[in-house]
Every structure is written in structure tokens, then in C-alpha cells.
Chains A and B, each alone.
Chain A
Amino acid sequence: MSSDKLLMRGNEAIAEAALRAGCRNYFAYPITPQAELLEWMAEKMPQKEGGTFLQAESEIGAINMVFGASAAGERAMTSSSSPGISLKQEGISYLAGADLPAVIVNIMRGGPGLGNIRPSQGDYFQATRGGGHGDYRTIVLAPSTVPEAAQLTFEAFDLADKYRLPVVLLADGMIGQMMEPVSLPTPLEEKDLPEKPWAVSGAAGRSPNTVNSLALGAAELGQANERREKRYEEIKKKETREEIVGSDRPDLLLVSYGTMGRIAKSVRRLAAERGIDLALFRPITLWPFPQNRLRQLSKEVNTVLTVEMSSGQLIEDVRLSLGNEVETPFYGKSGGAVPGPGEILKEVEKYVP
């Protein structure tokens, strides 16, 4: 971590963190509210030193250029916002099927369809359930501040390379657009990046490499999927992350992620003024979902309230984790509205006498 802080917009911090993680191949298509990310890359990518910034013809073009650059063994990234991410899903499925690392940034906006350009958390299902066709998962990282967005972007490349899969950074328009002071990670050098003996680099002095997601036999594809499944299990054990704020025996546990996870902290302060002890649970990895920690915490409360900027998606993972052991109410707003601390507190008060 470099010591000097910079005031940066979320989109810019994500772009700069990617560059510092050694990403020299970035392909994207303009869409609001992530356009600044593209613009930062256009300006800062060291193209004279071999880096590639390419504004692709389409979202589909961009994700497939990432596929090619990743196959060639390079750190590669694309970014977009919800409608564009839908278009990329074919490519994400192929990346997963071909065991290729990549980082995909989704600065979520309101949907479905063209929706609007306001911040939203409506793509939780899409991100955490694979998103495209077939049996696969992606690691999903959800920052709640600009510094965290930079840090998670930086780490996303290591995770992608380590487990050879696409990693999704799932933020929303609020985080993409807001400015905060950021301490950026120290840039990696070429020598810090992992070797990729599986990459296509010209078969000189070795047998040819193939990057491929085709496996015609049921046994062959089944085995490939089982190998991935084993990696997913390892990821669940080693990479699950969450932030927990509050006491061991609170009056109520509030679950939220991203921008809502940040607003939840204000709710906690407001609640304290009213004598309510709120604890907060914020999943940082949405997949793998930190269900064990959530289950432990829930044992001390009667109510686990989930708050989202959607009509209820994270709540399904909360309920899958907790079953009927506690009350699991939901409060959310869809369409690009952001629930404020006051209205969430009113909701909390319904469950805390």
C-alpha cells in the first residue's frame, strides 16, 4: 500500500488498481455509470510499453478479447454496467468452461431492460449463480467503499489466476461515481506475476496447449465440471469474507452488502441513539456466500433483517443459510432508489420492541 492518499472516483480507483495489479489488457464498451473506468484506462494504460486499451465494437467483442488475452497468459479485464454484463454472459460462461482467469467489473444500474442509470443491486442473482449457461460459478466481490473497491480489484486478479476462473467485482453506480480518499496498492512488477504454463504462447519446446471448453463425452465434461467443483469447494473454505460490526448479543442483525452495507453503518449509529443495539453483517464475497459465519451470529438474535437496493435477492441466500431458525424479514427498494438510514431504522423498530 502506498502511503499517499488520492481523492478518486470509484470507477477511476478500480481502473488504477487493475493497472497496479499488472493488468495490461483492458477491453470495454461505453456504458453509464462506468464510463470513467474506460476513460481512465484509455489515458493511463501504458500502451507504448505494450499495454492494450481497446474500445471494443460491443460488450460481446470486449469479453471475447479478454478471453483471447487471458488465453495468451496475460492479466485481462473488462468492465460494464448491468445491460452490458448481460451481453457478456456468454463469454463469462466460456471463460469458466475454459478455466481462464479474468476480472469483470459490473457497476450495477437499475433494471430490468434499459432500466435507468441509477445505482442498484439488481444483478445479485446473475452474478452469484454463474450468470451464463452451464454449471459454473464465479467469485463475486462486493466493495462498499472506494478504497475497498480498489483493494478488491487488486486482489481479484490474484484470485482469478490462483483458481483459474472469472472473478466479478460487483459494485453499483453509487460506488462507481462517488469520490473518496484512496491509498492505492503498490504496483506489481512483471516478476511478481504468476507463470502460466497452460497459456497459448506458441508451442516451442513443449507440446501444444489448447484452450477449450468443449468436452463431447458425458464422462469427460462431467469430470471437467467435477474438477471445477473441487476448486469451488476450496474457494468456499479459503476465500469467504465478511465484515461484522457490533456486539455478540445484539437486538437485531442487519445484513446488507455494497452501498447498503455502508448505509447500514449509519443506521447502526442512529439505532444506538434510540438504545437499540444493532449488529451488522456485510458479505464481501457474495459467492462464496459466508453462510457459516452468518449462521453463528444469528444464534444470538431473533431477527435477521436483510436490506437491499433490489426487490429481494441477497435475502434468498440469507434464508438458505438460516432456514426457519430465526425471523428473516426483508426491506428493499427497486428501480434505482437507495433506502436511507431513517427509513431502515423504522423498519428495524418493527422488530425491536
Chain B
Amino acid sequence: MSPEPPAEEMRKVFSRPASLNEEKFTYCPGCHHGIINRLIGEAIDELELKEETVGTAPVGCSVFLYRWFDIDVVQPAHGRVSAVATGIKRANPELTVFAYQGDGDFTSIGTGNSVHAANRGENITVFFVNNTLYGMTGGEMAPTTLLGQKTSTTPEGRNSKDFGYPLKMSEMLATLEGPTYITRQAVYDVPHIKKAKEAIKKGFRYQLQGKGYSLIELLSACPTNWGLDPVQANRHVKEKVEQVFPLGDIVDRSEER
């Protein structure tokens, strides 16, 4: 008797989404960008959007979306992703357009572009990856940095007197009438990954239905710049980051749109 099961029972149950290509991610071990990229890829596959989707990539660790996604990708200037996604979608409304932005991109240098794309209710889907600092340039403070958090530009920890408070962009944008759907999700364990994927798909679906602007904020770990191992970094998201940036839907106006 062979220990191998018969060939007809062999079945591939897990593979790379068709929307991602064979290129390996360059993310650090324990970074959540890879999980998020994959979830977006799975969502594009499952909604059968691969041939009509255009992604827009930020500047930072995820700048290489065009290497990893097997779809059309535009890689514009730091902070300008929401404006560029607006231009693409307005020029060709038949496309499904997503913006992939980090916290420095979305809430600091590109704040104005982000706010106004949301306020116009642009019919795009924005993925806002919040890891509470600038990952690629060496772990500097971002608007989202937690109070007391040590970064390379707040060596004593962020204090509100000099540097203000963690910017809650999703809550801010939820005060506007423009956005249709704003949610904050995490990907540090399987239940949360499943919820995050549903939120990502919902964001795409609302765009397909012409319901307007969706923002899916995704809390992400940055073990390298946090000085933690991947397990500790996951715990940090759950125990610390979530306290400041609570998970869940912040607004869903899809019924009215």
C-alpha cells in the first residue's frame, strides 16, 4: 500500500490569486501589507474584476504593487493617489479603480487630496493601510503615531504638546456626507482577516453598483520599525493600536445611495 492518496483525490485547495503574479513580495517578515495585498487579489478574483481593474500605488513599502499585481497599475507621487484615482475613474468610469495608500500618504502629505476625493464621493475604493509610522524611510512619526510611541523622529515617544494627537482620518471623513462606506479592519488573525476581506469586497461592490466612495482602513503591523517580533507586533495591534483606532464599520450609507 502506498502512503500517497490516489491521484484523483489530489486537489489544490490554496493557491496564489490570479490577480497576483509570481513575483515575491519584498515586505519584511510579519508585515501585514502582504496579507492585505493578497486579500485584495482574492477579492478581485472572486468578483471577476481582474480585466477591468486599475490599481494606484502609493510611495513607500507597497510602491511595487505593479510588480505584484497582475493588473494595470499606476504609480504616482507620494500623497496624490486619491487625486490620480479620481482622474482615472473620471476619464474611464467603466474601470474599477482602487487607491492603495499608507498613513503618511493618506493622512499627512496627501490629506487635502484624500479629504476632497472622499467629500466628492468619488466612485472609487480606497485601501488605507495604517501602521502608525513611515515604514520605508526608517520608521519616522506619522500623524497616526500613538502617544508615547517611540519612532526615529520621536525618540522619547510622541508627546501631544509638540506633535499633536493620533489623527483619526476615518472618523474625520465619516463626518462628511460624501463617503458611502468607511470601515476599519485588522488582519492579525484569521477571524479578522475574514472580516477584512468581506469589507474589501464590499468596497469593490459599492463601486460596481455606482454607490460611491468606500474607505477601508486596515491596521497593519510594522515589526521592523516597531522593534518587535511578528507575534509581538500582532499583539501590539490588538492591544495598543486598536485602543486608539477601534475596529468596525464607521459609516455605511449604501442604502441611501
Question: Chain A residues in contact with chain B, CB under 8 A?
Answer: 24-25, 27, 50, 52, 54, 56-58, 60-61, 64-74, 76, 90-91, 94, 98, 200-205, 208-214
Question: Chain B residues in contact with chain A, CB under 8 A?
Answer: 50-54, 56, 63, 66, 69-77, 80, 83-96, 112-113, 115-116
Contacts of B96 in A (CB 8 A): 202
Contacts of A24 in B (CB 8 A): 91
In whole Å, how far is A347's beta carbon from the nearest beta carbon of chain B?
44
- Are A202 and B76 in contact, CB atoms less than 8 angstroms apart? no
Residue of A nearest to B53 (CB): A202
In whole Å, how far is A63's beta carbon from the nearest beta carbon of chain B?
8
- Are B90 and A25 in contact, CB atoms less than 8 angstroms apart? yes
Which of B70, B83, B112 is close to A68, meaning CB atoms less than 8 Å apart? Answer: B83
Contacts of B66 in A (CB 8 A): 208, 210, 212
- Are B90 and A54 in contact, CB atoms less than 8 angstroms apart? yes
Identify 12 residue pairs between A and B in the complex whose beta-carbon atoms are under 8 Å apart, listed by A's number: A58-B113, A60-B112, A61-B83, A64-B83, A67-B80, A67-B83, A71-B87, A98-B76, A202-B52, A202-B54, A208-B71, A213-B75
| Bound-state Cα–Cα, A212 to B56, Å | 10
Contacts of A50 in B (CB 8 A): 93
Contacts of A57 in B (CB 8 A): 83, 112-113, 115-116
Which of A65, A202, A204 is close to B90, meaning CB atoms less than 8 Å apart? Answer: A65
Contacts of A60 in B (CB 8 A): 80, 83, 112-113
Residue of B nearest to A204 (CB): B51
Which of B72, B87, B91 is close to A203, meaning CB atoms less than 8 Å apart? Answer: B72
- Are A69 and B75 in contact, CB atoms less than 8 angstroms apart? no
Contacts of B83 in A (CB 8 A): 56-57, 60-61, 64-65, 67-68
- Are A67 and B72 in contact, CB atoms less than 8 angstroms apart? no
- Are A68 and B113 in contact, CB atoms less than 8 angstroms apart? no
Known contacts A202-B95, A210-B66; A68/B85 CB under 8 A: yes
In whole Å, how far is B241's beta carbon from the nearest beta carbon of chain A?
29
| Bound-state Cα–Cα, A54 to B69, Å | 30
In whole Å, how far is B233's beta carbon from the nearest beta carbon of chain A?
27
- Are A200 and B87 in contact, CB atoms less than 8 angstroms apart? no
- Are A201 and B112 in contact, CB atoms less than 8 angstroms apart? no
| Bound-state Cα–Cα, A60 to B81, Å | 11
Known contacts A73-B91, A204-B52; A68/B84 CB under 8 A: yes
- Are B77 and A200 in contact, CB atoms less than 8 angstroms apart? no
- Are B92 and A201 in contact, CB atoms less than 8 angstroms apart? yes
Known contacts A72-B54, A94-B77, A210-B66; A201/B87 CB under 8 A: no
| Bound-state Cα–Cα, A69 to B95, Å | 12
Which of A27, A94, A98, A202 is close to B87, meaning CB atoms less than 8 Å apart? Answer: A27
In whole Å, how far is B66's beta carbon from the nearest beta carbon of chain A?
4
In whole Å, how far is B225's beta carbon from the nearest beta carbon of chain A?
21
| Bound-state Cα–Cα, A64 to B101, Å | 15
